Structure 1
Amino acid sequence: MTDPVPSLRHTIAADLRTQITTGHLKAGERLLSEPKLATHYKVSTPTLRNALALLQAEGLIEKIHGKGNFIRHPLRRLTYTGGRLTPDTDLHVTIRTTKVRARGDLIPLLKVPSRTPLTEFLYLTHQGESPHSLARIYVPQDLAPAELPWRQPGWAETRETVTARLPASEEASTLRISSTLAVLAITRVSSDTTGRVVEAALLVLPGDRANALFITHHTTEERGTEG
């Protein structure tokens, strides 16, 4: 059985991919406009955009609204472990604080009544000019720290749920990624010694630049009963 003939979008994507990986197209360089590229490859603009979407999903190019398509600088793959991204020396963070009310999924997540006053901390990390990860942290206002939330000595338990999914349109736009690129969505809920939820964090990590590492420590008694 012979392999199927590649589609035009795959042929165009393969040509551009080769130019990027061989250095003919360099990181930070702006591609020709989509109409000019469509003319160059003798295809329709929608076909050309489909080809670019493949490369965007691979993390090779990014589309900046109003500016065009650019070759991406190689993004460093970081590891999420213990509530942190490591190593984080190449990242810088912008933070926005907003007063909000508990609604939707935040109500069962934080175990609070509807419209409970919350403080939202929005973290957007960048590597160079490229957005790298997004986090929204919610804290009841009567517990909100003076500056930024951080792990407190009274915290007794943190639960993390990791889901692989496609990004919401707002997430894709903020992180400048394709809507077809899978993300790691991490929901982290921390409680104090009384069982009260003191923080809920919603993290979105694009799959082309993040790993999640979980470590289990076994006690001596557990190791002795294995086997």
Structure 2
Amino acid sequence: MVTRPAPPLRYSIADDLRARIITGRLKPDERLPSEAQLAAQYRVSTPTLRNALAVLQGEGLIEKVHGKGNFVRRRLHQVTYVGGGHMAIDRDAARSTLRVTVRMTKMRARGGLASLLKVPLHSPLSELLCVGYEGDSPHSLIRFYIPRDLTPVNVRAEMPCWASVEATLAEARPALADTHEEVAARLPTRSEAAALRISTALAILTISRVSTDITGRVAEAAHLVLPGDRASALFTTHRMTPERPARR
């Protein structure tokens, strides 16, 4: 008879905590005991306990808030990217809980950015770092890179939704004519994981977008990051059907 080895302790701990979350013994937004307390409770080392928490972070069940601890994550609604910079969230989401924070920084075009925006090196640009939130939990991240003269003057530090961000950007530029989008899946960088409060082991959906206005000028480049546990992309193609000749 072959005896199977016991699973690593981190999975046993993760199974127990997962069961407590699913059954409601640990409720959404509830703070977990400290890592030292949990390690003592399960009689394991702190690194082993952190590995167990990383499993649950990767599943989107808990999130680590810097300086505050680990919290049970409230179920976030699904975010759907529908192309052209537009994002939709589940219809049953409470609209009052949605918001986008915006931080604008002045910078100069270097290397890849200069090539992407088709501007000379050191041209003045603006970077808009936008983080979408549902309640207090981040669900999406976008960095916009815009020629300085196309930067809107009325950028607010917080907006109610992504549509407000797009409308604000549109006020300062000619109408867009073409948008090229590239979609990929990968693991997040440490800074992306920290901004979205996710594990570095959770896959993300990334969309790189370059938009050209009706004059042929690149009006903006954008980089979108969406956590894989709550995001999808939907693209619809409208095809023209040839007209049939009229019957005589």
Tell me whether the two structures share a fold, i.e. TM-score over 0.5.
yes
Is the contact between residue 77 and residue 89 of structure 2 (CA under 8 Å) also seen in structure 1? no
Match of 2:175 among 151, 154, 173: 154
What displacement does 1:127 show?
0.7
Matches within 5 A, 1:68-217: 68-82=69-83, 83-87=85-89, 89=95, 90-147=97-154, 148-150=168-170, 154-217=175-238
In structure 2, the partner of 1:57 is: 58
- Work out the CA distance in 1 between the residues paired with 2:210 and 2:188: 21
Q: RMSD over aligned Cα, in angstroms?
A: 2.1
1:5 shift after superposition: 3.0
In 2, distance between residues paired with 1:8 and 1:39?
14
% identity of equivalent residues: 59
Cα offset, 1:3, TM superposition: 6.2
Please tell me the residue identity of whatever aligns with 2:199: S
Show the counterpart of 2:34: 33
Q: Greater shift after overlay, 194-203 or 81-90?
A: 81-90
Match of 1:12 in 2: 13
CA contact (8 A) 2:141 2:226 kept: yes
The 1-side partners of 2:215 and 2:5 are apart by 61
Name the amino acid aligned to 1:30: R
Task: Give the TM-score, by structure 1 length.
Answer: 0.91
Equivalent pairs, count: 223
> Displacement, 1:194?
3.7
Q: Report the alpha carbon displacement of residue 113 of structure 1 after superposing the two structures with TM.
A: 1.5
- Once residues 175 and 64 of structure 2 are traced to their aligned partners in structure 1, the CA distance between those partners, rounded to angstroms, is 44
Q: CA–CA distance in 1 between the matches of 2:183 and 2:201? A: 18
Of 171-180 and 150-159, deviating more is: 150-159
Hey, what's the Cα distance between the residues in 1 that align with 2:80 and 2:119? 32
TM-score, normalised via structure 2 length:
0.84
Quote how far apart the aligned CAs of 1:155 are: 1.4
Letter in 2 for 1:91: L
